[in-house]
């Protein structure tokens, strides 16, 4: 299938499309400049879809569709025109408010039409919107015109509102005195580039050596030395002793500059004239979407360094399991589940395979190449393959709460979805791409669907629907692909889509130069709707690259605007310097962020391609202060103290280091201990040094030191690397260490530089196994099978399993998948496994998390036998899972299909069912059921009624969907007032056929003839926050029979599971069964609720009736409840159950007796006993006196047995 936008659409639109399967195309269009200031209304969008064979032309109405009235616009410009000092960039903001927006197309923009400008809606509602245009200037521009674009009568107009002529920014950071030192035998292929930095800030270095490339963050204190404010540094680069076929030099550059500032040809290195080659690549599946990739490569000269396959599979020299890097086999375990449901597949890269050697040569196989010419298995799926979409269609998808009010509150929600041909072990992902929210999920065994939990932030812009995509395997399902029941609608009274703003900055200098004092900034932080959550501020001196870091927290109680003070103490012994706020990051309660001066973020933005690449979408908290911000953020101090120390501290003797490190062993910890001394001043405790470890080909790791002791102008420090990365330093033979960042109190910062002995030899021995992970996580599976992940398992046949009772049992390994995965069984499920250790090649002891080994005792299910033999007992919960058509808590009832639907009551939500049915003895009787919503009670903390409302007047509407006649629906509405009007809505649904529904994250089966009551309450004015509400319902079942003397009624109340309760009102063999869910949707969240059955049993022998109270906790916004009722045919009559209400043997015709079965049984025994006494007395007088006393004793014994 192919789609085209013909040229006869007047070049007004640009469109792209996405294809979903074989029958759905998503078209996305936007306006081109040619559409601006058109004299006539915009034409339709013409599309042509080409299929095989033929084509189809479609005319789509323009999306510019207003009511003919232009919006009212007002605007403000906040421009950074500061010219006193060089600036890396300038921010320009244009705040535009549109009122009277009625489907108008509105957009503030500029004459530049570049992607480095960005417009976003930051606040407003359907009628009034505030849009923020911002432009981050890096380059020279002549004029910046702010333009307003809007639609009227389906034409698009644009006019210039303001113009500026800003000066060109100039990066104040400069790197000077760059020089290189050729590698010598002393430094063993380590290049050292020394340089000085003026106006220091963090930045990015880009290093390239043949096909080896890496971007590194240059942050303080990397090799830093500061003397009298002058920042000096060095860059250490450890290269292999090889160079590529093309004699590629080492190139050092900054990502913000096109021209490298250093290039070095490693002429003394041996040249490698051959690319590496592939011998074989195998993918061995070890679990669902889990596999081992095992590859064999040859590079006879410098040796293989890395394989990058489809971006996410990366093999390196240290993944070697057999042979050498010149001719060897490499292996790695890959868990593909998260990756496959994130859209990363074979077609996502231009180069699917890149194999490099140490010299920087590469074998590259582009994605377009037919892989059958190479020994590479085709394991990965293409993105959104139409055939894959066609065989994995969506069968059901819905949100727990599909309509959400986000006004001043966030929302916890759940998305459920199911497909044909699914695998329950798969992962799944949802992306709400218009708000930048992504969440992941997995299979929910209770719901038999995939489940994704997510949270929507408060005060989003209203959207119906909110667009989203679902990622399953390599497939993408856009929301337009799904049914209307699968859409999510959000509303907010007013939206807030911008983070906190700083509206006032007050700098204060309370230091006179001679006495101890302070400098301060008072920041006024405003966030009216979402509220300020937290933040971070960095303050840095021009003499000290080590910043002060302040954590900001909101005041209590929260305020829409608050003042926060930053204090820095200035001692008498100081230096003349200027303190400046260099970085600000603020968050609101909806997780919106504002950032000032994210210089590394901006540099990464340049790395992606510069100003013409992806938009830098970060707003500064100083939007309102652009014109004055640079003067407000700096405080200079005049210090009168005479400083005679411009020399940094030094290391006092060589550091204590290990003699070597084996980075192939289980234990790879490393410590560096060192002492620092200064000749004149104390060692600064606020400047903690860092230790750096430099390995081959740009690999560097660091660790901050801890203070061990402080003396007179001395200090002891310790760097503890808890666990070096596996294989770190390999295939090199050493690691170089370097220490930087120790300082005296006069801000002289030292570094140990680079010396001959600053190396740690590297050993890469694989004589020990390494256990890195064990899964699944406890509790252990019933088959006690565990999978171990790690390294060097090739010779392992047994593992030691240590149990909590102290016993250690050697356990044979069932299966070893190469070197990285092994599985074993026969683990005891009775005692807890504490740790696991490999035996043949000893490993690290791997400790398992604490878990409970004591299984829960099985619970018995109701019924004799359990579940009456009509279902399966779930022993963990004691709940029956009935086999259709059986139903009920004991599976001893069947649903009764009512011949005709009930007649709706037009005055109140009372469902009155009359229908005939046949008893087991053939008698035809009339059954009558009555279900009603009675009242609403407010209860205090002791359960006493403090207010009550009885419903009498209702507004009735037949809301049955005539396209879905299997469900009849009637809506009733009323209200009550207690200084606040509370609306009560009852939606009665009658199911004529069996159907599955979902409520509050539960799957519910609606049987034929089921009545479901959806009850919705709006806000209620509670008398106290600890009070609750009780919604009272009444349920009745009544039988009209020709033989009421033999009738019995019975009531039963209990729990179906942890999720629901039931009440069963039975007359003879028929019951009215009510199911009450223990969950409700309270304030748009699924919350637990409880139910209470009335204590007044209003039952006779031919009717059973009672009240049910649904208890509602205190709430703010809304309540949704969902009970349902069914009529059942019972196997066991009410007369067979204890405490049933039955007639006596001599009941009167009016049938008013309410004697229970136990009472009747007592009367019968008494009558029988009395009859026997009379008969025995007559017999006593008739027998002769010569009867023996034994006969009398026998009679007395019989009487005693009857009475007992």
- How confident is the model over 549-560, as pLDDT tens digits? 999 999 999 899
**Residue for token pair 């619970």:** 859
Supply the CATH number for residue 1014's domain: 2.70.98
* Strand-pair category, 1090-1093 with 13-20: unpaired
Residue 348 pLDDT greater than 50, yes or no = no
139-153, 548-562, 1186-1200: least confidently modelled range: 1186-1200
Burial of 568 (0-12, 13-18, 19+ CB in 10 A): middle
DSSP string, 677-719: E-SSSPBPSS---EEEEEETTTEEEEEE-EEEEE-SSEEEEEE
DSSP assigned state of 1096:
-
SS3 assignment, position 487: coil
Q: Helix/strand/coil (H, E, C) string of 98-146?
A: EECCCCCCEEEEECCCCCCEEEEEEEECCCCEEEEEEEEECCCCCCEEE
Per the rule left: phi > 0, alpha: psi between -120 and 50, beta: everything else, 247 is: left
Q: What is the mean pLDDT of the chain?
A: 84
The answer on 948 and 1090 residing in a single domain is: yes
Residue 237 lies in a domain: yes
Give the residue, 613 or 508, on which the prediction is more confident: 508
CA–CA separation, 1078 vs 1060, rounded Å? 5
Residue 785 pLDDT greater than 90, yes or no = no
The answer on 564 and 487 residing in a single domain is: no
Residue 887 lies in a domain: no
Do 1192 and 1176 form a contact (C-beta atoms < 8 A)?
A: no
Do 916 and 926 form a contact (C-beta atoms < 8 A)?
A: yes
- Residues 823-844: what's their mean pLDDT? 82
- Please give the pLDDT value at position 180: 54
Burial of 391 (0-12, 13-18, 19+ CB in 10 A): exposed
SS3 assignment, position 773: strand
The answer on 1069 and 942 residing in a single domain is: yes
Q: Helix/strand/coil (H, E, C) string of 974-1018?
A: EEEECCCEEEEEEEEEEECCCEEEEECCEEEEECCCEEEEEEEEC
* Strand-pair category, 495-496 with 411-419: unpaired
The answer on 819 and 682 residing in a single domain is: no
Listed residues 113, 143, 164: the one ending a domain: 164
Helix/strand number for the chain, H first, E second: 6, 90
- Please give the pLDDT value at position 853: 64
Supply the CATH number for residue 681's domain: 2.60.40
CA–CA separation, 775 vs 792, rounded Å? 18
Q: Helix/strand/coil (H, E, C) string of 252-311?
A: EEECCCCCCCEEECCCCCEECCCCCEEEEEEEEEEECCEEEEEEEEECCCCCEEEEEECC
CA–CA separation, 131 vs 96, rounded Å? 5
Number of domains in the chain: 10
**Hey, what are 608's tokens?**
């992606």
- Please give the pLDDT value at position 54: 61
CA–CA separation, 1134 vs 307, rounded Å? 75
- Please give the pLDDT value at position 935: 94
The answer on 1085 and 1020 residing in a single domain is: yes
Q: How far is CA 941 from the centre of its chain?
A: 36
Residue 902 lies in a domain: yes
Do 510 and 518 form a contact (C-beta atoms < 8 A)?
A: yes
User: How would residue 177 be classed by pLDDT, with cut points 50, 70 and 90?
Assistant: low
The per-residue pLDDT for range 328-345, each reduced to its tens digit, is: 999 999 887 766 555 444
The highest-confidence range among 440-444, 612-616, 826-830, by mean pLDDT, is 440-444
Residue 1184 pLDDT greater than 50, yes or no = no
The answer on 585 and 520 residing in a single domain is: yes
Residue 461 pLDDT greater than 80, yes or no = yes
DSSP string, 715-753: EEEEEEES-PPTTTTTTSSEEEEEEEEEEBTTS-EEE--
Residue 385: phi and psi, rounded to 5, are -60, 125
List of residues 6+ apart from 16 with CB closer than 8 A: 27, 28
Residue 310 pLDDT greater than 50, yes or no = yes
632-636, 666-670, 691-695, 872-876: least confidently modelled range: 872-876
- Please give the pLDDT value at position 80: 86
Listed residues 847, 881, 910: the one ending a domain: 847
Beta bridge partners of 262: 252
* pTM of this structure: 0.85
Listed residues 271, 287, 313: the one ending a domain: 271
The answer on 328 and 250 residing in a single domain is: no
The answer on 263 and 306 residing in a single domain is: no
The per-residue pLDDT for range 359-369, each reduced to its tens digit, is: 999 999 876 45
pLDDT cut 90: percent of the chain above it: 46
CA–CA separation, 409 vs 382, rounded Å? 40
Give the residue, 111 or 1157, on which the prediction is more confident: 111
- Residues 26-34: what's their mean pLDDT? 78
DSSP string, 168-189: PP----EEEEEEEE---TTTTS
pLDDT cut 70: percent of the chain above it: 86
- Please give the pLDDT value at position 168: 87
Find the domain containing 592 and state its range.
Answer: 501-637
CA–CA separation, 401 vs 419, rounded Å? 21
The answer on 1106 and 1037 residing in a single domain is: yes
Do 932 and 912 form a contact (C-beta atoms < 8 A)?
A: no
Please, what is the angle between helix 1157-1182 and helix 1189-1203, to 10°?
Answer: 170
* Torsion, CA 243, CA 248, CA 253, CA 259, rounded to 10: 160
CA–CA separation, 70 vs 159, rounded Å? 13
- Residues 586-604: what's their mean pLDDT? 90
- Residues 121-132: what's their mean pLDDT? 90
Q: How far is CA 164 from the centre of its chain?
A: 43
The answer on 567 and 425 residing in a single domain is: no
The per-residue pLDDT for range 246-292, each reduced to its tens digit, is: 999 999 988 888 788 888 888 889 999 999 999 998 888 887 778 89
Residue 66 lies in a domain: no
- Please give the pLDDT value at position 367: 63
The per-residue pLDDT for range 381-429, each reduced to its tens digit, is: 555 567 777 778 899 999 999 999 999 999 999 999 998 888 888 889 9
Residue 1169 pLDDT greater than 60, yes or no = no
The answer on 682 and 607 residing in a single domain is: no
- Residues 483-499: what's their mean pLDDT? 94
- Please give the pLDDT value at position 117: 63
**Hey, what are 701's tokens?**
């790791």
Residue 764 pLDDT greater than 50, yes or no = yes
CA–CA separation, 45 vs 185, rounded Å? 71
Burial of 147 (0-12, 13-18, 19+ CB in 10 A): buried
- Residues 998-1013: what's their mean pLDDT? 88
User: How would residue 782 be classed by pLDDT, with cut points 50, 70 and 90?
Assistant: low
CA–CA separation, 1118 vs 1122, rounded Å? 14
The per-residue pLDDT for range 1052-1079, each reduced to its tens digit, is: 888 877 688 899 999 998 999 999 999 9
219-233, 240-254, 852-866, 1131-1145: least confidently modelled range: 852-866
- Please give the pLDDT value at position 453: 96
Residue 242 lies in a domain: yes
Residue 861 lies in a domain: no
Residue 549 lies in a domain: yes
Residue 458 lies in a domain: yes
- Residues 720-736: what's their mean pLDDT? 95
The answer on 957 and 1058 residing in a single domain is: yes
Q: Helix/strand/coil (H, E, C) string of 524-593?
A: EEECCCCCEEEEEEEEEECCEEEEEEEEECCCCCCCCEEEEEEEEEECCCCCCEEEEEEEEEEEECCCCE
- Residues 93-104: what's their mean pLDDT? 85
Closest CA to 1125 of 979, 932, 883, 948: 932
114-128, 191-205, 961-975, 999-1013: least confidently modelled range: 114-128
- Please give the pLDDT value at position 962: 82
């Amino acid at each position: 299938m192919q789609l085209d936008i013909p040229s006869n659409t007047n070049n007004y639109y640009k469109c792209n499309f996405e294809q979903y399967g074989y029958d759905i195309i998503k078209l996305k269009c936007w306006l081109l400049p040619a559409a601006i200031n058109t004299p006539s209304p915009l034409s339709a969008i013409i599309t042509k879809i080409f299929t095989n064979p033929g084509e189809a032309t479609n005319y789509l109405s323009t999306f510019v569709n207003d009511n003919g009235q232009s919006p009212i616009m007002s605007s403000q410009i906040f421009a950074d025109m500061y010219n006193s000092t060089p600036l890396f960039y300038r921010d320009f903001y244009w705040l535009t408010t549109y009122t009277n927006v009625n489907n108008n197309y509105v957009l503030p923009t500029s004459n530049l039409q570049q992607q480095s400008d960005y417009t976003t809606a930051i606040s407003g509602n359907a009628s009034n919107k505030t849009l923020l245009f911002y432009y981050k200037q890096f380059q020279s521009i002549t004029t910046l015109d702010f333009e307003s674009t809007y639609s009227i009568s389906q034409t698009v107009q644009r006019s210039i509102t303001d113009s500026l002529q800003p000066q060109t920014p100039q990066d104040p950071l400069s790197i000077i005195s760059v020089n290189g030192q050729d590698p010598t035998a002393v430094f063993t292929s380590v290049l050292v580039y020394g340089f000085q930095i003026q106006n220091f800030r963090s930045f990015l270095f880009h290093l390239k050596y043949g096909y080896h490339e890496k971007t590194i963050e240059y942050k303080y204190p990397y090799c830093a030395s500061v003397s009298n404010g002058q920042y000096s540094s060095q860059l250490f680069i450890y290269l292999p002793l090889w160079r590529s076929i093309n004699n590629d030099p080492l190139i050092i550059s900054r990502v913000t500059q096109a021209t490298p500032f250093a290039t070095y040809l490693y002429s003394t290195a041996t040249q490698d004239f051959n690319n590496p080659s592939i011998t074989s690549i195998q993918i061995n599946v070890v679990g669902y979407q889990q596999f081992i990739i095992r590859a064999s490569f040859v590079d006879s000269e410098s040796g293989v360094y890395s394989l990058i396959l489809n971006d996410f599979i990366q093999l390196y020299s240290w993944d070697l399991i057999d042979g050498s890097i010149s001719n060897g086999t490499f292996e790695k375990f890959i868990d593909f589940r998260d990756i496959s449901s994130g859209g990363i597949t074979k077609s996502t890269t231009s180069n699917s395979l890149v194999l490099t050697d140490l010299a920087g040569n590469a074998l590259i196989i582009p994605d377009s190449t037919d892989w059958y010419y190479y020994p590479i298995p085709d394991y990965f799926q293409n993105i959104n393959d139409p055939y894959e979409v066609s065989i994995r269609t969506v069968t059901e998808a819905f949100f727990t709460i599909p309509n959400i009010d986000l006004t001043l509150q966030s929302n916890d929600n759940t998305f459920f979805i199911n497909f044909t041909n699914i695998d329950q072990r798969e992962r799944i992902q949802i992306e709400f791409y218009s708000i930048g929210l992504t969440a992941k999920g997995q299979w929910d065994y209770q719901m038999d669907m995939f489940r994704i939990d997510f949270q929507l932030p408060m005060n989003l812009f209203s959207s119906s629907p909110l667009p989203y995509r679902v990622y399953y395997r390599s497939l993408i399902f856009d929301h337009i692909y799904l049914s209307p029941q699968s859409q999510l609608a959000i509303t907010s009274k007013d939206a807030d889509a911008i983070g906190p703003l700083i509206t006032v900055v007050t700098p204060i200098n309370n230091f006179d130069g001679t006495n101890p004092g302070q400098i301060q900034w008072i920041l006024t932080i405003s966030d009216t709707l979402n509220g300020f959550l937290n933040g971070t501020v960095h303050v840095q001196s021009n003499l000290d690259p080590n910043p002060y870091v302040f954590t900001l927290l909101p005041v209590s109680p929260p305020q829409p605007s608050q003042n926060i003070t930053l204090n820095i103490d200035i001692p008498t012994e100081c230096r003349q310097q200027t303190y400046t706020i260099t970085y600000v990051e603020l968050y609101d309660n909806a997780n919106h962020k504002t950032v000032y001066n994210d210089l590394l973020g901006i540099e990464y933005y340049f790395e992606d391609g510069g100003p013409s690449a992806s938009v830098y979408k970060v707003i500064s908290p100083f939007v309102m202060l652009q014109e004055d911000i640079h003067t407000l953020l700096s405080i200079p101090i005049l210090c009168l103290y005479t400083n005679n120390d411009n020399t940094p501290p030094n290391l006092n003797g060589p550091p204590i280091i290990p003699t070597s490190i084996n980075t192939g062993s289980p234990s790879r910890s490393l410590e560096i201990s060192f002492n620092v001394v200064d000749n004149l001043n104390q060692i600064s405790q606020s400047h903690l040094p860092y230790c750096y470890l430099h390995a081959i080909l740009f690999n560097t790791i660091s660790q901050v030191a801890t203070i061990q002791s402080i003396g007179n102008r001395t200090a002891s420090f310790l760097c503890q690397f808890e666990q070096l990365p596996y294989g770190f330093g390999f295939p090199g033979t050493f690691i170089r260490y370097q220490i930087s960042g120790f300082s005296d109190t006069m801000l002289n910062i030292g570094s140990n530089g680079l010396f001959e002995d600053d190396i740690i030899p590297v050993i890469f021995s694989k004589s020990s196994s390494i256990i890195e992970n064990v899964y699944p996580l406890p509790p252990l599976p019933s088959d006690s099978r565990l999978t171990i992940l790690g390294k060097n398992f090739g010779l392992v046949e047994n593992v030691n399993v240590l149990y909590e009772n102290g016993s250690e049992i050697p356990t044979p390994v069932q299966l070893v998948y190469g070197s990285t995965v092994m599985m074993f069984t026969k683990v005891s499920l009775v005692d807890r496994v504490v740790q696991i250790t490999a035996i043949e090649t000893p490993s690290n002891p791997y400790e398992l998390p604490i878990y409970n080994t004591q299984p829960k005792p099985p619970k018995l299910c109701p019924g004799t036998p359990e579940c009456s033999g009509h279902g399966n007992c779930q022993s963990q919960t004691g709940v029956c899972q009935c086999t259709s058509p059986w139903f009920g808590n004991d599976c001893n009832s069947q649903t009764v299909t009512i011949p005709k639907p009930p007649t709706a009551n037009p005055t109140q939500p009372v469902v009155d069912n009359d229908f005939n049915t046949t008893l087991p003895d053939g008698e035809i009787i009339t059954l009558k059921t009555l279900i009603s919503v009675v009242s609403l009670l407010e209860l205090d903390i002791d359960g006493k009624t403090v207010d009550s409302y009885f419903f009498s007047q209702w507004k009735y509407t037949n809301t049955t969907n005539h396209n879905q006649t299997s469900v009849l629906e009637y809506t009733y509405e009323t209200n009550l007032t207690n200084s606040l009007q509370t609306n009560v809505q009852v939606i009665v649904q009658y199911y004529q056929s069996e159907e599955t529904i979902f409520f509050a994250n539960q799957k519910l089966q609606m049987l034929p003839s089921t009545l479901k009551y959806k009850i919705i309450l709006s806000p209620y004015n509670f008398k106290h926050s600890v009070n609750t509400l009780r919604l009272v319902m009444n349920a009745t079942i009544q039988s009209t029979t020709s033989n009421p003397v033999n009738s019995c009624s019975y009531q039963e109340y209990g729990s179906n599971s942890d999720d629901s309760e039931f009440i069963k009102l039975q007359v003879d063999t028929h019951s009215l069964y009510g199911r009450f869910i223990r969950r409700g949707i309270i304030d748009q969240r699924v919350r637990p609720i409880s139910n209470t059955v009335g204590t007044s049993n209003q039952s006779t022998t031919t009717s059973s009736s009672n009240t049910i109270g649904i208890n509602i906790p205190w709430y703010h916004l809304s309540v949704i409840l969902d009970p349902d009722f069914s009529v059942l045919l019972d196997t066991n009559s009410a007369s067979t159950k204890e405490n049933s209400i039955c007639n006596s043997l001599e009941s009167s015709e009016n049938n008013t007796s309410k004697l229970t079965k136990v009472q009747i049984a007592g009367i019968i025994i008494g009558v029988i006993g009395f009859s026997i006494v009379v008969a025995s007395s007559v017999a006593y007088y008739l027998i002769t006196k010569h009867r023996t006393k034994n006969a009398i004793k026998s009679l007395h014994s019989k009487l005693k047995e009857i009475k007992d």
